[in-house]
Homo-oligomer: A and B are copies of this chain.
Amino acid sequence: MQDVARAVGVSPMTVSRAFRNDASVSDKTREAVRQAAEAMGYVFDSTASTLRSQRTGFVAVTIPSINNANFAETVRGLSEALKPQGLQILLGTTDYDIQNEEELIEQLLRRRPEAIVVTGGKHTERARRLLENAAIPVIETWDLPDRPLGHVVGFSNAAAVGMTVDHLVAHGATRIAFIGGDADRDTRGTDRRLGFIAAMQRHGLDATRLIAAGAPPISMREGARAMARLLETLPDTQAVICVSDLSAFGSLSECQRRGVAVPGQIAIAGFGDYEIAGTCVPALTTVNPFPHEIGRRAAEVIAAALATPGLPPQRAAITPGLIARDSTG
């Protein structure tokens, strides 16, 4: 910066102001600085700026996996809404493991983000302490935790599956199964399974047709295997709810391979409204949790919290939308 200042014939302070689009620099000086910097190949150094100003411009975000269209949409919604605020996303993945999440959160906090967005409401005790001590806005998403750490932008996974159960029951199904992962590592998947059981019991129906299909998150392949097992062990099942559209599509493909009519012999519903659900034949009934909207709303909460330091914890409950399609008649 000194070199640029020398070249233009001003002080480093003026160069600094020119780069920040600060008010009191004349347009002529600003332009001269920009040109000199461009010619010299100077690129502004955020790391030093960060130290003195105590503003990193980072918002830390943790998601279970980058390879998931739903979480990707949330990140995109966040990113779009944070960019105009001059905030950049620092992304990390937990691989669906709260122990990894703890380590990741510490790594991210070392970078001094101005806010942090985490997926889910379940964390290790140390992770909770780290987040509470960080003295920055914390937003939990994709869940409605009982004991929130700060702000919340999410929905009830259990209620979302409850809507699907209601839909199937309204269409006359009584023998309904649930396909999901076989461990509680994916906490949202677990919530959906519990939501299934609760809704079935609410309808006075048998809630024991549970197919566990391997380590979560289960995908198309595991969905297909689970459907094979379901058709063999519980052939009188009328409908099945899958933990996500990916496993639902896997289930559908298995039915096609076996010549089982969908929805004639068995109805299939998924979760997430992935693009495939609206494209495949028959199109899949699913629930849209509005992942992009979650990201957008989370960014709004961040903006509000940074503008108003003492802002009380916000709680934005999003209502997922049931999308009835051909796969459930």
A residues apposed to B, CB below 8 Å? 41, 43-48, 50-51, 56, 65-67, 69, 72-73, 75-76, 79, 88-93, 106-107, 109-112, 129-130, 133-134, 219-221, 224, 246, 249-250, 253, 256-257, 275-276, 278-281
Contacts and interface: CB of A to CB of B under 8 A. Distances in A.
Contacts of A276: 220, 249, 276
B112 A47 contact: yes
Contact of A253 (B92, B220, B281): B281
Contact of A256 (B109, B224, B281): B281
A263 to B, nearest CB: 15
A220 B279 CA distance: 7
Nearest to A105: B43
A47 B50 contact: yes
Given A72-B66, A91-B91, A279 B47 contact: no
Nearest to A43: B109
A89 B66 CA distance: 12
Contacts of A73: 67
A246 to B, nearest CB: 8
Contact of A43 (B56, B67, B134): B134
Contact of A45 (B75, B110, B249, B278): B110
Nearest to A49: B110
Nearest to A19: B110
A88 B111 CA distance: 11
Given A110-B45, A112-B45, A130-B43, A224 B279 contact: yes
A79 B51 CA distance: 26
11 contacts: A41-B129, A41-B133, A45-B112, A46-B112, A65-B72, A91-B91, A221-B278, A221-B279, A250-B279, A253-B280, A280-B280
Contacts of A133: 41, 43
A67 B72 contact: yes
Contacts of A106: 43
A253 B284 CA distance: 13
A72 B71 CA distance: 12
B93 A79 contact: yes
